[in-house]
């Protein structure tokens, strides 16, 4: 079944709405648009779909509440603006959704909520409980406390994480543009809209530029990162314009709107999706072409196929597996710490004992602990 057809049948849908859609160019919230968007979401729920809303806009709402023209420079001030704006945003969502008879529940996440397995389970359980109560989880990054290494940094990646977390059928990213163009139309007026991206290749990544306004974060680059995660996790993703009324309905009726990124396979099992998208990556293993083929065929990763190793990690860490052209092939949990693995790479399993005392594993990464990203 093609992706557009599967979107028609999507029951659990994550909708991400960017600042560029929620705010006017003046920085003030676009109440007309928010109202219409929420009415459409409420109606999709009446149709029997579950909706999870990932909403940006806290910083924009905070800035307009405080009468500030631009984001402050210091991190604590940015955090404070986000804290103020998040309340403003939720007040509006509560009001409009209530008018359409819907209940909402605010969930503020950081990377930690997905990195640690028990927190991952708790976040997932809370979101599923909200859905079971017929409520709309309204999610944002916890900007008031998330700094540096616990920060996801942009809501495109956050929405893909959420879609994976709840095993969504579809992720729709609403922005101020109709979809992915061959280049950023702001600087390349001749650029054309692409209707479907079956695979995120280096050429596709090259098309994507940064944010279109001072309000947006990440632009198309972070939306493609989100697509990579969503596609690998079995979630169909669409980028479309949030200013077009009825756009969600049209997408979920299977119309060719925006850019679609078809899901690669059926949902990964929970443990595997946690492994691929929730864990902190601690190193890279570059493997040869034969090894790439073997991994794609479902084999475990053996030391003989590894050409290079980057990073310092312990056994049990999650690492990326890269092809020689730097394409990410897989992620997995290593059986050896980097110090030992450096001695083993390029060698056959029979030689292990002479190289590292007590080397107990045949595989560097067992196939059960490996998720393909291609």
Ligand X SMILES: N[C@@H](CCC(=O)OP(=O)(O)O)C(=O)O
The answer to whether 237 contacts ligand ADP (rule: CB under 6 A) is no
Q: What's the chain's length in residues?
A: 374
176 is in an annotated binding site: yes
Least Å distance, CB 317 to ligand ADP, is: 32
The answer to whether 153 contacts ligand ADP (rule: CB under 6 A) is no
Three-class DSSP category at 144: coil
Three-class DSSP category at 304: helix
C-alpha span between 322 and 6 (Å, rounded) = 31
Task: Looking at 239-312, list the stretches that DSSP marks H as alpha helix, in order from N- to C-terminal side.
Answer: 247-252, 270-277, 289-296
26 is in an annotated binding site: no
The answer to whether 55 contacts ligand ADP (rule: CB under 6 A) is no
What number of chain residues touch ligand X (CB under 6 A)? 16
Least Å distance, CB 53 to ligand X, is: 12
222 is in an annotated binding site: yes
Q: From the list ligand ADP, ligand X, none, which binds 213 (C-beta under 5 to 8 Å, kind-based)?
A: ligand ADP
SS3 content of the chain, % helix, strand, coil (to 5): 40, 20, 40
What mask of x and - would describe binding to ligand X in positions 50 to 79, judged by CB under 6 A?
A: ------xxxx--------------------
- Per CB under 6 A, contacts with ligand ADP among 305-324 are none
Q: For residues 19 and 236, which CB has a smaller minimum distance to ligand X in the complex?
A: 19
Q: Are 115 and 278 in contact (CB under 8 A)?
A: yes
Which of 19, 317, 318, 338: binder of ligand X (CB under 6 A)?
19
Which of 112, 143, 169, 176: binder of ligand ADP (CB under 6 A)?
176
Count the Cβ atoms, other than its own, within 10 Å of residue 3: 18
Say what angle helices 75-99 and 31-46 make with each other, to 10 degrees.
Answer: 50
Q: Annotate 90-122 with b (16+ C-beta within 10 A) or e (fewer).
A: bebbeebbeeeebebbbbbbbbbbbbbeeebee
Q: From the list ligand ADP, ligand X, none, which binds 369 (C-beta under 5 to 8 Å, kind-based)?
A: none
16 is in an annotated binding site: yes
Say what angle helices 75-99 and 58-66 make with each other, to 10 degrees.
Answer: 100
Three-class DSSP category at 157: helix
Which of 55, 184, 228, 232: binder of ligand ADP (CB under 6 A)?
184
What number of chain residues touch ligand ADP (CB under 6 A)? 24
DSSP for 182-225, written as a single string: SS-TTT-TT--B-SB-SS--HHHHHH----SSSS-SSHHHHHHH
Q: Are 232 and 373 in contact (CB under 8 A)?
A: yes
Q: For residues 224 and 321, which CB has a smaller minimum distance to ligand X in the complex?
A: 224
272 is in an annotated binding site: no
Q: Are 175 and 21 in contact (CB under 8 A)?
A: yes
Q: For residues 81 and 295, which CB has a smaller minimum distance to ligand ADP in the complex?
A: 81
How many CA within 13 A on the CB side of residue 272? Answer: 19
* Ramachandran angles phi, psi of 33, nearest 5°: -65, -40
155 is in an annotated binding site: yes
C-alpha span between 229 and 278 (Å, rounded) = 11
> Which range of residues in 106-114, 125-133, 217-225, 309-317 is near ligand ADP by CB under 6 A?
217-225
Which of 208, 260, 359, 370: binder of ligand ADP (CB under 6 A)?
208
Residue ranges for the known binding site are 16, 56, 143, 155, 175-176, 217-223
* Residue ranges that bind ligand ADP, judged by CB under 6 A: 18-21, 56, 175-177, 180-181, 183-184, 186, 207-209, 211-213, 216-220
**Which residues sit in the known binding site for substrate?**
56, 143, 155
Residue numbers at the binding site for ligand X (CB under 6 A): 18-20, 56-59, 82, 140-141, 143, 154-155, 216-218
């Amino acid at each position: 079944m093609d992706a557009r057809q599967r979107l028609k049948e999507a029951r659990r849908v994550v909708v991400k709405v960017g600042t560029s859609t929620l705010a006017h160019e003046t920085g003030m919230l676009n109440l007309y648009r928010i109202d219409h968007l929420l009415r459409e979401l409420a109606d999709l729920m009446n149709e029997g779909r579950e909706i999870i809303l990932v909403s940006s806009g806290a910083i924009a709402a905070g800035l307009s509440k405080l009468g500030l023209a631009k984001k402050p420079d210091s991190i604590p001030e940015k955090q404070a603006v986000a804290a103020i704006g998040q309340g403003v945003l939720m007040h509006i969502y509560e009001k409009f959704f209530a008018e359409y008879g819907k209940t909402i529940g605010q969930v503020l996440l950081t990377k930690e909520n997905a990195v640690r397995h028990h927190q991952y389970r708790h976040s997932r359980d809370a979101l599923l409980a909200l859905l079971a109560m017929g409520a709309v989880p309204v999610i944002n990054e916890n900007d008031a406390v998330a700094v540096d290494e616990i920060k996801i940094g942009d809501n495109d990646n956050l929405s893909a994480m959420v879609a994976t977390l709840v095993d969504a059928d579809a992720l729709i990213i609403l922005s101020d543009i109709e979809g992915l163009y061959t280049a950023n139309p702001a600087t390349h007026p001749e650029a054309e809209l692409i209707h479907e991206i079956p695979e995120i290749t280096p050429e596709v990544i090259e098309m994507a530029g940064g944010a279109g306004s001072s309000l947006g974060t990440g632009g198309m680059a972070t939306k493609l990162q989100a697509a990579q995660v969503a596609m690998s996790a079995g979630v169909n993703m669409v980028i479309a314009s949030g200013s077009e009324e009825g756009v969600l309905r049209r997408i979920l009726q299977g119309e060719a709107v925006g850019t679609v990124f078809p899901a690669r396979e059926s949902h990964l099992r929970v443990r595997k999706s946690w492994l691929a998208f929730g864990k902190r990556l601690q190193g890279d293993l570059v493997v040869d072409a034969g090894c790439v083929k073997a991994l794609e065929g479902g084999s475990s990763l053996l030391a003989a196929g590894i050409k290079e190793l980057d990073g310092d990690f312990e056994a049990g860490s999650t690492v990326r597996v890269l092809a020689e052209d730097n394409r990410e092939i897989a992620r997995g949990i290593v059986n050896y710490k980097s110090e030992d693995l450096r001695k083993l790479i390029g060698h056959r399993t029979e030689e292990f004992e002479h190289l590292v005392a007590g080397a107990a594993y045949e595989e560097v990464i067992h196939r059960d602990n490996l998720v393909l990203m291609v």
